[in-house]
């Protein structure tokens, strides 16, 4: 029921002095067997850990490392910001700039990256790795935006970004470009993923599928060099072996007469009804 501020006073007056006294005792005891476990002041607090905090056969140095690791879980500073920052926007920025500097995943669309690029750069947002999903459906110019969401390193003048992982399928739908002139003559419908594959950059292609029944996969299997089926779609008692309600076969084409005499129409560009 206390605020982070009042808990901080308790931390400074009670918790921190106990830790300092423990470190002094640990230095005096050296590698004495059981000294760290005996003097550790927060044993009751960590009594419900999944595995014992101090391994029975470990050395005194290993016990001291375990104690220091536990001490890091008693910090309050990372929580106090959420008490001071009231809006979700400010809290999100705090998470991006502070917590995401450890091992973390920050997910966003390329469109959001373009909209928020200025804000992310001003926040000194930093990252080493970039994973781009459905990269074959992203326009080439859009694919470069997530790569430049941080300023270059002041010492080297180079980007901190070390690796980019593109995941996609260039045999499926390309990026959507509504202007046919730009699409065909400027090749804006070619993704960076497809360009790299076309230029012969080494790529790993999956050769098994597990999302469709084999009969359905046969419809598009010709597009791939060698596409097999995972055991899950071949199992006689698996979900893919069950009948589809209302269908006689694995798949079938159903003829639909022109509704109300209208048939196929395009009420909006690129929208077929």
* CATH number, residue 175: 3.40.50.300
Assess whether 52 and 114 both reside in one domain.
no
Assess whether 161 and 129 both reside in one domain.
yes
Distance CA 29, CA 136 (A): 61
pLDDT, position 93: 81
Query: At residue 192, does pLDDT exceed 90?
Result: yes
The last residue of a domain, from among 76, 97, 132: 76
Kindly state the average pLDDT of the residues 21-30.
86
Assess whether 172 and 244 both reside in one domain.
no
Beta bridge partners of 164: 130
Name the band, by pLDDT with cuts 50, 70 and 90, for residue 76: low
Name the band, by pLDDT with cuts 50, 70 and 90, for residue 123: confident
What are the distances in angstroms from CA 223 to CA 6, 55, 77? Answer: 65, 56, 55
Assess whether 128 and 159 both reside in one domain.
yes
Name the band, by pLDDT with cuts 50, 70 and 90, for residue 115: very high
Percent above pLDDT 90 for the chain? 24
The last residue of a domain, from among 199, 226, 251: 199
Q: Does residue 30 form part of some domain?
A: yes
Name the band, by pLDDT with cuts 50, 70 and 90, for residue 31: confident
The last residue of a domain, from among 199, 224, 242: 199
Kindly state the average pLDDT of the residues 91-106.
74
Name the band, by pLDDT with cuts 50, 70 and 90, for residue 258: confident
What are the distances in angstroms from CA 162 to CA 102, 128, 159, 216? Answer: 16, 5, 8, 40
- At 152-172, the pLDDT tens digits run 888 888 888 999 999 999 998
Sign of the alpha-carbon torsion through 162, 138, 142, 150:
negative
Q: How many domains does the chain have?
A: 3
Beta bridge partners of 186: none
The pair of three-digit structure tokens given for residue 35, joined into one six-digit string: 């000294």
Query: At residue 146, does pLDDT exceed 70?
Result: yes
pLDDT, position 102: 60
Q: Does residue 171 form part of some domain?
A: yes
Q: Domain of 188? A: 107-199
Q: Does residue 91 form part of some domain?
A: no
Assess whether 192 and 215 both reside in one domain.
no
Distance CA 47, CA 247 (A): 58
Rounded to 5°, the CA angle 151-152-155 comes to 130
Full-model pTM: 0.62
Q: Which residues of 159-188 are buried (b: 16+ CB within 10 A; e: fewer)?
A: bebeeeebebbbeeebbebeeeeebeeeeb
Kindly state the average pLDDT of the residues 168-191.
88
């Amino acid at each position: 029921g206390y605020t982070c501020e009042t808990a901080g006073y308790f931390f400074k007056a009670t918790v921190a002095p106990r830790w300092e006294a423990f470190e002094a005792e640990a230095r005096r005891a050296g590698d004495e067997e059981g000294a760290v476990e005996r003097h550790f002041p927060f044993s009751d607090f960590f009594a419900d850990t999944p595995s014992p905090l101090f391994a029975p056969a470990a050395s005194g140095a290993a016990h001291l490392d375990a104690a220091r690791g536990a001490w890091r879980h008693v910090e309050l500073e990372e929580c106090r910001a959420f008490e001071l920052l009231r809006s979700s926007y400010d809290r999100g920025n705090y998470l991006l700039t502070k917590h995401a500097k450890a091992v973390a995943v920050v997910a966003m669309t390329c469109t959001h990256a373009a909209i928020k690029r200025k804000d992310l750069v001003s926040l000194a947002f930093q990252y080493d790795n970039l994973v781009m999903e459905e990269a074959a459906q992203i326009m080439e110019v859009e694919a470069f935006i997530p790569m430049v969401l941080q300023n270059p390193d002041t010492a080297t003048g180079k980007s901190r970004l070390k690796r980019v992982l593109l995941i996609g399928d260039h045999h499926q739908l390309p990026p959507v470009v509504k202007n046919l002139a730009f699409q065909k003559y400027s090749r804006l419908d070619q993704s960076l993923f497809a360009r790299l594959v076309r230029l012969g950059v080494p790529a790993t292609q999956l050769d098994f599928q597990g999302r469709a029944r084999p009969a359905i996969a046969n419809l598009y299997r010709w597009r791939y060099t060698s596409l097999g089926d995972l055991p899950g779609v071949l199992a006689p008692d698996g979900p893919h072996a069950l009948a589809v309600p209302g269908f006689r076969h694995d798949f079938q084409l159903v003829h639909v007469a022109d509704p109300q005499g209208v048939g196929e129409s395009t009420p909006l560009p690129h929208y077929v009804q």
